[in-house]
Structure 1
Amino acid sequence: MTHKDFIAALPKDALAELSRTENAAGLWHLAGHVALIAGFAVWIAQGWPLWQLALVAQGIVICFLFTLQHECTHKTPFASRALNEWAGRIIGVLILQPFEWFRYLHLAHHRHTNIPGKDPELTAGGKPETAWQYIRHVSGLPLWAAMARITWGTARGRIEDDFTPQRAKPRLQREAQTMLAIYALVALSLLASPLLFWIWLLPVLLGQPFLRLYLLAEHGRCAFVADMFRNTRTTYTNRIVQFLAWNMPYHTEHHALPMVPFHKLPALNAAMRGHHKVTAPGYTAFNAEFLRGLGTGQLPARNDGAQ
């Protein structure tokens, strides 16, 4: 059974219920995520014991807001269009990833998931195949360089990708210009106080490698085919990661039915059990297997075990 066969077999009322969005679930989840960021910020600012570890934790929590921004491109975390738009834009500033630009890249990724020459995620560099490429990828440095280049170029009207529609380019340019203006103000604020450096800028540099390790599991070493059951991986993990990643470890589920909001993905996973073709029992296990396969073309082992 392919993912299309699975969708066709779903009762219409079940699909409608799975696809129903709401504000409450997203707002409660966001409140918890923001509370973590605020808590770690106070810990760092006060210099409480183990504040150095809090720097890393803060970076992980901020960087994993990417998963919410990603969901906002689908307009599913909240029923309110304004909430989806503003959440995506604010997160874009925090993680240096313009929301409008990412929206079109991500929609192209969904249209051509893991298809070489069409999926922009593969075109942008693909997945690491050697130990050095893996280290470089996980460091996050290539991502920061690419985001800085894209934001700067977009602000100047130089939008050269093939997935952004012409009509949207002025909007992308305005967003990038606004982001640069905000960063200029942040830079000026550092002359008066280093607070933002310690509670935001340094943490996101330290937290990005953890997001890279997480994202690698979504499609890394999956088949270059159109079937979402084969080109996307669901990773069974603990509740902490599920919370920080807004249930996106259920990634096969998300790609098969991207209109399903994050809080309905566990239910979709339960309905999908027995149909998955590619899963992993956790991110540590996935990356260990990925490392063993570097340079060999070996696929990480399939695991269909329960959570």
Structure 2
Amino acid sequence: MDRPLDHTALIKSLPPDTKAALTARSDAAGLRHLALYLAALAACTAGIALQLPFWPLLMLPQGILLVFLFTLSHECTHQTPFRSRWLNEAAGHFCALAIALPFVWFRYYHLAHHKFTNDPERDPELEHGGRPETFGQWLLYLSGWGYWKGMLQTLGRNAFGTINAPYLPGRRHADMRLEARLLLAIYAAALLTLLISPVVLWLWIAPLLIGQPVLRAYLLAEHGLCPAVANMLENSRTTFTSRLVRFVAWNMPYHAEHHSFPNVPFHQLPAFHAITQAHLKSTSRGYRAFTADYIRQLSH
């Protein structure tokens, strides 16, 4: 059996025509996936708005679909879901509004994460103390409290404070400031509508809060329990899961593959996985298995 390669050697070993096929972007593939995603979200929204029988139960799938727009936003930072740049930009800003994740800011935050993946000193995902190390920290993490607090602080700082993170280019500070101010204004207006109707609460705010723990559990598997090494096939985890989860997460459970070759769009990741699977170092047989492993690690 061939010796496993690290991600750099693996990418170098790919023939040019294979690389070209893997990195081919498609408006049709992206729009088809987005249409199905939005149709599912619209069905949940309609059920809640019309207060169909047992409508409160729909807030869980509604929340999951809303918070997992994070994975689309994440893909849009790489300009890969669609071939057309304007579609990537439009989708990214749509997600920003839905989940309070400012897109201009997030692009540079996320690219820094790719550059310094799992580096405790330079990965921005670890700049506030890293991942949960106790059971109490894990429960707090799952609640989404850290995310909502962090995004409120980021929006406030970008809108009215000093933007000084080393990974945020000065030439984009004005855009980040405008983006944050617009988002805060829209959120203020949305909250004011609660004085008239609870629609925003039931269709958006409550589902976001309900769905966030599911996203947190999913995201923890991407790099949790992975070593702080340079090899992307080791510092990032591929989680084997169902087709439904891969659909909702835009194929990002193939996360080691994504980090190894970020130019591969979501719809080509299964093909790239077929190439990388013999070289993967960090994998889990589903999110339940990963969570069980993480809890065992916390107990030690």
Could you tell me the TM-score, scaled by structure 2's length?
Answer: 0.97
Within 5 A, what are the aligned runs for 1:211-222?
A: 211-222=215-226
Give CA deviations for 1:259-294 in whole Å, capped at 9, x if unaligned.
Answer: 000000000001112111110010011001110110
Q: Would you say 1:266 and 2:270 are equivalent positions?
A: yes
Structure 1 unaligned blocks of 5 or more: 297-307
Question: Equivalent residue for 2:200?
Answer: 196
The equivalent position to 2:24 in structure 1, one of 5, 20, 26, is 20
The equivalent position to 1:47 in structure 2, one of 47, 51, 55, is 51
Tell me how far apart the structure 1 counterparts of residues 66 and 188 of structure 2 sit (CA, whole Å). Answer: 20
**Contact 1:154 / 1:173 at 8 angstroms: preserved in 2?**
yes
CA RMSD of aligned residues (A): 1.0
Give 1:226 deviation, angstroms: 0.7
The count of residues paired between Structure 1 and Structure 2 equals 296
Q: Would you say 1:279 and 2:287 are equivalent positions?
A: no
**Contact 1:73 / 1:88 at 8 angstroms: preserved in 2?**
yes
Could you tell me the TM-score, scaled by structure 1's length?
Answer: 0.94
Question: Equivalent residue for 2:143?
Answer: 139
Give CA deviations for 1:214-254 in whole Å, capped at 9, x if unaligned.
Answer: 00000001010110011000000001100000000000110
Tell me how far apart the structure 1 counterparts of residues 162 and 137 of structure 2 sit (CA, whole Å). Answer: 28
Question: Equivalent residue for 1:150?
Answer: 154
Structure 2 unaligned blocks of 5 or more: none
Give CA deviations for 1:82-126 in whole Å, capped at 9, x if unaligned.
Answer: 111111111011101111111111000000111110111111331
Q: Would you say 1:8 and 2:29 are equivalent positions?
A: no
Question: Equivalent residue for 2:163?
Answer: 159
Question: Equivalent residue for 1:175?
Answer: 179
Q: Would you say 1:290 and 2:286 are equivalent positions?
A: no
**Contact 1:129 / 1:295 at 8 angstroms: preserved in 2?**
no
Give 1:157 deviation, angstroms: 4.0
Tell me how far apart the structure 2 counterparts of residues 265 and 117 of structure 1 sit (CA, whole Å). Answer: 29
Give CA deviations for 1:152-179 in whole Å, capped at 9, x if unaligned.
Answer: 1111142132210111111100000110
**Contact 1:63 / 1:204 at 8 angstroms: preserved in 2?**
yes
Task: Return the letter of the residue paired with 2:297.
Answer: G
Tell me how far apart the structure 2 counterparts of residues 295 and 113 of structure 1 sit (CA, whole Å). Answer: 25
Task: Return the letter of the residue paired with 1:75.
Answer: Q
**Percent of aligned positions that are identical:** 50
Tell me how far apart the structure 2 counterparts of residues 124 and 110 of structure 1 sit (CA, whole Å). Answer: 17
Tell me how far apart the structure 2 counterparts of residues 82 and 136 of structure 1 sit (CA, whole Å). Answer: 37
Task: Return the letter of the residue paired with 2:256.
Answer: T
Within 5 A, what are the aligned runs for 1:41-80?
A: 41-80=45-84
